[in-house]
Copies of this chain bind each other. A is one copy, B any other.
Amino acid sequence: MASAQSPVQPPRSVFVNTLMPEPAHLAVGSGSLPFTTSFTAATDSFHDDRLDDAVARMLKQLENHTGLQIALAPMASKTATLLITVDGPGEAVQSVDENESYSLEVTRQGAHLKAATDVGAMHGLQTFLQLVQTDGAQFFVPAISIQDTPRFRWRGLMVDCGRHYMPVPVLLRILDGMAAVKMNVFHWHLTEDQGFRIESKVFPKLTEMGSDGQFYTQEQARELVAYARERGIRVVPEFDMPGHTQAWFVGYPELASAEGRFQIERGFGVFDPVMDPTRESTYKFLDAFIGEMASIFPDEYMHIGGDEVNGVEWKNNPRIQKFMRAHNLSDTAALQAYFSQRLMEILKKHGKRPVGWDEILSPRLPRDAVVQSWRGFASLAASVKQGYAGILSKGYYLAYLDPAEKFYLVDPIPTKSDLTPEQQALILGGEACMWSVYVNDTIIDSRIWPRTAAIAERLWSPRSVNNVDDMYRRLWVESVRLEALGLTHITQEDMSLRELAGPAVAASAPGIDALHALTSVLQPGGPEDPHRNTLSPFSRLIFALPPDPPSRHNFELLVSDYLQAPAAHDAQRAQLAALFESWIAAQPELLRLISSSPLLEEARPRAEQLAELGTTGLEAVSWLSSGQAAPRGWKEQKLTVLDEAEKLSAAVRFTVLEPLRDLVNSVKDK
């Protein structure tokens, strides 16, 4: 594969930069600090349980990574290999203003990590972990000097636990992954039309009737908040209102704008049920509910949703229409603004600042609100121009299955922004969003990771860190590191393929191995199946495949390398030819496998196309390397093959079509 350029200059020493996110300032020294069984770590000034636990976790990870069992370091020893100097614990409740900076100096003699707070120190420990590398004979940490601080203060991941419930262990390992790439906000989307997921003791019917028994107890929620805090991560809970609230109404129909009984929603989309903003009883309910939730979630912010209210039920209800006229509320947007205002007064009473989606922006929005933009930068800019803090999510929607590079190049402050420096400062950061319409607890890891690490780098590292090739080089390394934390984003593919092949087939050699020739050049595609609902199984090829598999970018690099000099780049030609031949050779076994499993049947056209793509590639490389022109009609015919392969089929797409098109188009015509 082509070597990639690093934005940090390669040192004369053996240092290979696999840091992710890249630190703000990094200077490489000479030599390295060996990592051996006599390694010790100690704090020399402040330390508390949180810091001690973080150090212990890091040591355990280092032991697992190196296989070297190290002695337990006595704390507060000046002779430690890694000395950790921390000024204090940081804020009692981590805020958006927490000091997260740290510095790390590594020499041949030792390492020194300094930070103002536990949180900064924990970020530094993650950097130290990522620095440990090997020359094949031993492990070492390169001599280096790092001064690091995040570009944005709000680096979040939203997980929708409403449409599909995610068990606690799944969320805990996601928090581990977030901490590894220095993210600091877990936005917990807890309520949806499809499920109410957090226990209320004041209103028990919310989960008794609105969750199918799939919800988080208050104790579990408190434990998750504590687990996150231990890792420098804030937890911002979201209670989406006044829309997306059908599950609330199953137990408490009196909150709704329409009459009658409600069911937990099984479908996906924007639905009519919406809270009744005209009744005082609604606010009394929400006052008690928000008060209860405020006692579980200590973060200064609470997310109140506010998105996608279609206004249908408000328009259809004469009583609500009468209320609107009486209060001079000209349209449903004005009624929603009235509701938001009342709701935010309740938040204020309970000591919480509001976060909401774009739609909450209205003239009477409190000054301390944060607007989260799912609509895009123009909407975000509108908010900050009115003086509101904002965070960007448009462009970071993981459910869209875009390649990491696409997320990576979305900057919360575009280069050509017309915002003043003061307005830019109001952009706190961004959040990756994992909506769970097409995600369950089995596949969520592969939808979040490793792509979210690229978003984490965008939000932490300087704007100038934007080399896509280098990002990918480091991303694949980080992906394997994330796996060691217990995440299943890599192993899930084979596991799911075995399920698709069926146990009887998967049990026999070569079993699913034959599938890899095909699946390694496929990625999930859209649009998704409109007939799916929350109860649908996930046993389809699309859910087995990782978005943005390594093969995609690697193939791009290889073809681009080759095309620089097709006649001369013989190694690349050989590599391409071997790959194309493997696509052709795979077909008989692939078709046999497909014939043995109804779940693989939809992939039959893809298996047939794979061989055609192999032939196309082989012929193109042959013409290109020989320098000869192809016969009349050849190019047209091959482009037709590529066009056919481009069409969505089995809800999956080939990852290799653009470079193949480049190959074909580079062939001379007769």
- The interface bits of chain A over 517-544 (1 if a CB of B lies within 8 angstroms of the residue's CB, else 0) are 0000000000000000001111110000
Contacts of A539 in B (CB 8 A): 63-67
- Asked if B139 and A598 make an inter-chain contact with CB atoms under 8 angstroms apart, the answer reads yes
- Asked if A483 and B498 make an inter-chain contact with CB atoms under 8 angstroms apart, the answer reads yes
A77 contacts partner chain B, Cβ-Cβ < 8 Å = no
Contacts of A68 in B (CB 8 A): 537
Selected from B65, B133, B138, B507, the residue in CB contact (under 8 A) with A480 is B507
Give the complex CA separation of A508 and B167 in angstroms: 32
Residue of B nearest to A130 (CB): B503
Give the complex CA separation of A484 and B495 in angstroms: 8
Residue of B nearest to A551 (CB): B509
- Asked if B480 and A503 make an inter-chain contact with CB atoms under 8 angstroms apart, the answer reads yes
Residue of B nearest to A501 (CB): B480
Contacts of A502 in B (CB 8 A): 65, 133-134
Copies in the complex: 2
A288 contacts partner chain B, Cβ-Cβ < 8 Å = no
Contacts of A540 in B (CB 8 A): 67
Give the complex CA separation of A601 and B66 in angstroms: 12
A1 contacts partner chain B, Cβ-Cβ < 8 Å = yes
- Asked if A535 and B69 make an inter-chain contact with CB atoms under 8 angstroms apart, the answer reads yes
Q: How far is the CB of A573 from chain B (nearest CB, A)?
A: 17
- Asked if B491 and A64 make an inter-chain contact with CB atoms under 8 angstroms apart, the answer reads no
Interface-central residue, A137, A480, A596, by most chain B CB under 10 Å: A480
* Complex interface residues of chain A between 450 and 485 (CB less than 8 A to chain B): 476-481, 483-484
- The interface bits of chain A over 128-145 (1 if a CB of B lies within 8 angstroms of the residue's CB, else 0) are 000001101111000000
- Asked if B18 and A137 make an inter-chain contact with CB atoms under 8 angstroms apart, the answer reads no
- Asked if B598 and A136 make an inter-chain contact with CB atoms under 8 angstroms apart, the answer reads yes
A597 contacts partner chain B, Cβ-Cβ < 8 Å = yes
* Complex interface residues of chain A between 153 and 179 (CB less than 8 A to chain B): 167, 169
Contacts of A554 in B (CB 8 A): 509
Give the complex CA separation of A185 and B221 in angstroms: 32
Residue of B nearest to A494 (CB): B491
- Asked if B477 and A503 make an inter-chain contact with CB atoms under 8 angstroms apart, the answer reads yes
Give the complex CA separation of A473 and B573 in angstroms: 43
A202 contacts partner chain B, Cβ-Cβ < 8 Å = no
* Complex interface residues of chain A between 59 and 111 (CB less than 8 A to chain B): 60, 63-69, 72
Give the complex CA separation of A67 and B529 in angstroms: 13
* Complex interface residues of chain A between 282 and 301 (CB less than 8 A to chain B): none
A–B pairs, 6, beta carbons within 8 Å: A69-B537, A134-B597, A136-B595, A169-B169, A480-B498, A480-B506
- List 17 additional contacts besides A18-B504, A67-B537; criterion CB under 8 Å: A63-B539, A64-B537, A65-B539, A67-B598, A67-B599, A69-B535, A136-B598, A137-B598, A138-B598, A169-B169, A476-B508, A477-B503, A480-B498, A480-B503, A484-B498, A484-B503, A490-B494
